[in-house]
Amino acid sequence: MGVAKRVIPCLDVDAGRVVKGVKFLEIRDAGDPVNVARGYNEAGADEITFLDITASSDNRDTILHVVEQVASEVFIPLTVGGGIRQVSDVRRLLNAGADKVGINTAAVTRPELVREASDKVGSQCIVVALDAKQVSAPGEPQRWEIFTHGGRKPTGIDAVQWAIKMADFGAGEILLTSMDRDGTKIGFDLALTRAISDAVQIPVIASGGVGNLDHLADGVLKGGADAVLAASIFHFGEYSIREAKQHMADRSIEVRL
C-alpha cells in the first residue's frame, strides 16, 4: 500500500483547441479541451496533461482561458506545459487553475528558473520535462543526453545528472520523454526510465513510445516509473484508460480503479 501508479493522457493544445483530435470519446466537439478533459475524467484518468504548442505569441494567453474553463468543471489534477519562460508564467497558469506546470527548454537555458519557481510556489507544482536521447554506442555503458527543440538540438548534458540537479533545484516531479522512442509505439526506453527513477527521490512520469498496455505496465515494473503518460493509444481509442488500468492491476500494479 502506498500510492496508485497514475495513468495520464496528454493532449496537445494549439490556440485553445485540442489538436491531433481525440477519436473515441463520444463528445460533440473533440477539439474542445473542456469536453475532452471531462471525457477523460469520466474514463478514469488520474490526471490530465496539456501541452501548449501555440506558436503565435498573439495566442499565448488562450491557454489560460483553457485552463480556467477546464479547472472550473473537471476536478482532477491538471498539468500544463509549453512556453514557460519565467516565474510569472508559472504563477499565471497556477492562478488560472493548473495544479502543476511543466518546465522544459527554459530549465536548460536557465536552471535557476526551477529553483525560483519551486521556492515561490512549492515543489509539488513544478514538473521538469526532460527530453533524452541515447548517445552511447552499442556495447558501451548506456548514456543519455538532454536534447531540446523536439529532439533536434543536443545540449551535451547527461540526462541522469540533469535529473539529479533538477531534483536538487526543487523540481517536484520529472516528466521523462525518450526522444528515441517518441512516436515509435515500441515501448518506453526502460533502461533510461530505470536509470532516472533510481537516481532521484522525486516521482518520475514515463513518456514516449507506448504502443500497447504491456508497455505501460513495463514502464512501472521494469522502468520504476511512478506514472505513465501516453497520447495516441488513448486518443484514437485503441485502448481505454480503464482497460489500461485493469491491465496494470492484472499485473499486480496498484492503480485507482
Partner 1 sequence: MQRIAVIDYGMGNLHSVSKAIEHVAPDDEVIVTDDEALIRSADRIVCPGQGAAADCMAAISQHGLTSMLVDIVDTRPFLGICMGYQVLFDHSEENGGVDCLGIVGGQVKRFAAPLHTPEGERLKVPHMGWSQVNQAVEHPVWHGITDASRFYFAHSYFCQPSQVEHVSGYCDYGHKIAVSIARGSIFACQFHPEKSADHGLQLLQNFVGWDGVQ
**Cβ–Cβ < 8 Å for 114, 128:** yes
Q: Which span sits near partner 1 by CB under 8 A: 50-58, 81-89, 148-156, 197-205?
A: 197-205
How many of the chain's residues bind partner 1 (CB under 8 A)?
38
Q: Which span sits near partner 1 by CB under 8 A: 128-136, 145-153, 196-204, 208-216?
A: 196-204
The span from the CA of 244 to the CA of 251, in Å, is 11
> Does residue 98 bind partner 1 (CB under 8 A)?
yes
Would you say 41 or 105 has its CB closer to partner 1?
41
> Does residue 249 bind partner 1 (CB under 8 A)?
no
> Does residue 172 bind partner 1 (CB under 8 A)?
yes
> Does residue 95 bind partner 1 (CB under 8 A)?
yes
> Does residue 88 bind partner 1 (CB under 8 A)?
no
Ramachandran sector of residue 44 (left: φ over 0; alpha: ψ -120 to 50; beta: rest): left
> Does residue 68 bind partner 1 (CB under 8 A)?
yes
The span from the CA of 134 to the CA of 141, in Å, is 11
Phi first, then psi: what are they for 157, rounded to 5°?
-90, 130
CB-count exposure of residue 120 (10 Å: 0-12, 13-18, 19+): middle
The span from the CA of 118 to the CA of 187, in Å, is 32
Would you say 5 or 181 has its CB closer to partner 1?
5
The span from the CA of 255 to the CA of 253, in Å, is 6
How near is the Cβ of 257 to partner 1 at its closest, in Å?
Answer: 9
> Does residue 130 bind partner 1 (CB under 8 A)?
no
> Does residue 164 bind partner 1 (CB under 8 A)?
no
Would you say 28 or 75 has its CB closer to partner 1?
75
**Cβ–Cβ < 8 Å for 210, 185:** yes
Active site residues: 12, 131
> Does residue 256 bind partner 1 (CB under 8 A)?
yes
How near is the Cβ of 84 to partner 1 at its closest, in Å?
Answer: 16
Cβ neighbours of residue 137 closer than 8 Å, sequence gap 6 or more: none
